[in-house]
Structure 1
């Protein structure tokens, strides 16, 4: 077995490429060789990067050319009571972040929600999408494709579902722009986030469309999906899981714990999150929901780039006679508890904190529960920040925590 120094020298000499090292040594040695190479070629010292708590082989499906790990501080907020369609109980929410004061803020919101009896949460819609784009000669052929898709949903479903033991085709929507035809496939991917599942299934379905119609596939993703980009279609139609969490907080709790009034929080939400966001042309009408989504994604092994869609959230607040009503609705929260980064040992431990590692019974229930808990966490963050703004305590809180 070749050692790290020898491997690094072979790469420098051009005899090996970075991605070939695992063919000549175990994964940890390969990672060490890359660190030595980088240290020799740059001014970096990678001692800390090279200290990680699991075998490098465990990360094989998550990354290529592994050098080591970046350690993001992991904290926990809660406990908070969640009454959901799948989540039911008191939960601690693991959050990984480098933003000081975020955990303290979310923790305060969780405490207030818990003292009000907890939050309700429901997944209202579920479906991972993939939307290939096809070329046709013109609108006559486009109409032929649209009609064929409408009349052959069962054949498309059978073909797509032949690639997976768990995925289910829920819908196919057609869009025509000149000589381009887009088909937006929607799948139930159970406990998996399901992007790879949807892509592989759609590839087979697209082949059937090419065989049976004049359409010619141009790209398996035509950006009407839409993945990892701000898109109104995701804000309206949803992608992954559409989730709402809400809570009713007694007036006295608002005044004692948040040091403001329901009316002040409602006004701050209306003028900031609704009017301000509308003036900015934003897709998200919230204070900082993406903060909690991002931190939860990093902690539990989700695809971090999909925080883009996770920021598609609307926060509503209403001051009622004896209480404050608050809700967060996230239109496109793309999460899973199996596959991808959820298999990494540290992220799997975070899922264990929630009791949601692996597949649920029934299938899909673990991912639904994770979505509900994250949305309650986002609600906690919204309440805490809006209260800090309404009471004018935001800057002083950061000063006290030294952030």
Structure 2
């Protein structure tokens, strides 16, 4: 069998390219050869990168030119009681939420919010809308032809549905929404992708539908993604129409709990939220009207094998806080949280174990229920983070908390 040193030498000599190594050796040896090459070329030591806990073959669907593994500290917050009334949420019971991060004080802050939610009797959470989108762009000669294409699409949605759904055993086409800009026709396809995040699924299904549109109309496909989807970019359409899961978590906290555990008042938290998250965000032209929801979302994504770049859409969230007579009502509504419990990075051993902690690994029964539950747990964890940070700001304890933790 070819060893890693021989493979590295062949790459240096130009006999092989980096991406061809798996054609000549097993994945572990190929990764070792790349490390040896990079160590020679850059004078870097890759001992830690090369010390990873999973088989290189496990990562083949997830990466190319593998050299090793990136390790992040992982903590856990909770337990968080969610939907314990049993009246409609996908997540029901007490959940520990694994979070992977390099930001000191984040876990401590979110865990404080979880403790407050637990003391207050738990949170409620609901997925209010679901659907992964892909929006191709077609070229036409002008507005008259664009109108004809849109009319054909609207009259043949069932035929498009059949064509798209033949490519998947799980996905369902929910709707096709047309947008016309001059000689451009955009079609925003929205699919129910069940427990998968669904980006690959809907891309393949949308291609099949596009082939039918090109055969039946005068439109020419320019790009399978026309950026009206919108994937991995800040976009108002996702804030308004949603993408992935739209999910809200809320909690009512008794006044005495706010005062004793958060060291402030409902009125102070509500004012901080209004002036910071609502007015400040509006003045900044932000699409996210929250304190730091993306912090918890990113850490949960890394821990559970989600597509980390989609935290961009996850930041499309609005935090509300209202002082009531004897309590504080707080909510977090995330417009576009793109998560799954099957496929992608969820299959990697570390991330699969994190999903096991949540009890949400793999497909749910009914289909889609595990991904819905994951969305509700992440939203509740992010709400806990919002409560803790708003309280730290309202009580002027933010800088002292970081000083105490030394970071």
TM norm structure 2: 0.99
1:130-169 alignment, distance < 5 Å: 130-169=134-173
Give the superposed CA RMSD: 0.5
Task: Spell out, residue by residue over 1:166-214, the C-alpha distance to the aligned partner (whole angstroms, 9 max, x if none).
Answer: 0000000000000000000000000000000000000000011111111
| Counterpart residue number, 1:283 | 287
| Counterpart residue number, 1:49 | 49
State the alpha-carbon separation in 2 of the partners of residues 192 and 294 from structure 1.
18
| Counterpart residue number, 2:386 | 382
1:3-402 alignment, distance < 5 Å: 3-83=3-83, 85-402=89-406
Task: Spell out, residue by residue over 1:52-99, the C-alpha distance to the aligned partner (whole angstroms, 9 max, x if none).
Answer: 111100000010000001101000011110116110010000000000
State the alpha-carbon separation in 2 of the partners of residues 190 and 71 from structure 1.
30
State the alpha-carbon separation in 1 of the partners of residues 285 and 324 from structure 2.
29
Residues 83-92 or 346-355, more deviating? 83-92
State the alpha-carbon separation in 2 of the partners of residues 92 and 359 from structure 1.
19
State the alpha-carbon separation in 1 of the partners of residues 166 and 143 from structure 2.
31
SS at match of 2:298: helix
State the alpha-carbon separation in 2 of the partners of residues 373 and 159 from structure 1.
35
State the alpha-carbon separation in 1 of the partners of residues 179 and 338 from structure 2.
23
Aligned length: 403
Residues 301-310 or 21-30, more deviating? 21-30
TM norm structure 1: 1.00
State the alpha-carbon separation in 1 of the partners of residues 379 and 12 from structure 2.
48
Task: Spell out, residue by residue over 1:252-310, the C-alpha distance to the aligned partner (whole angstroms, 9 max, x if none).
Answer: 00000000000000000000000000000000000000000000000000000000000
Give, in angstroms, the shift of residue 322 of structure 1: 0.6
Q: Which runs of 5+ in 1 are unaligned?
A: none
Task: Spell out, residue by residue over 1:102-122, the C-alpha distance to the aligned partner (whole angstroms, 9 max, x if none).
Answer: 000000000000110110000
State the alpha-carbon separation in 1 of the partners of residues 240 and 137 from structure 2.
21
SS at match of 1:76: strand
